Structure 1
Amino acid sequence: MSKNSKAIMMSIIYTQSSWSSWSLRSIMSESFGNLTILTKRANNIQHVIAGI
């Protein structure tokens, strides 16, 4: 009984940690995508200013 409950606890902990790392990865990739969009916008603004 105790071995079984321990295995269940380990699987729950493993599932939670893998899910949190996955969500962290998606958040990081999302913010990285936003960062590239911002740098592209900044480059466009610089080109516009240079054109003026």
Structure 2
Amino acid sequence: MNNQFMMSLNPLTNQELDKIMGGKVTKTTKTTVISPDGTITTKEETVVIED
């Protein structure tokens, strides 16, 4: 069966999908900081959530 068709029938969050696929559940946090001199810094942090 088509994956996209299944997704539309049963919408899941990425976390739930990861659990079903047997992968690790991760949470990615993206922080963008704009300093006074106009420099843009993007920090990306991925945390693995243990069950």
Fold agreement, TM-score > 0.5: no
- Larger % of strand: which? 2
Greater length-normalized contact order (CA 8 Å, ≥ 6 residues apart): 2
- Larger % of helix: which? 1
Query: Which structure: larger Rg?
Result: 1
Query: Per the shorter chain, which TM-score range?
Result: under 0.3
TM-score (norm 1): 0.19
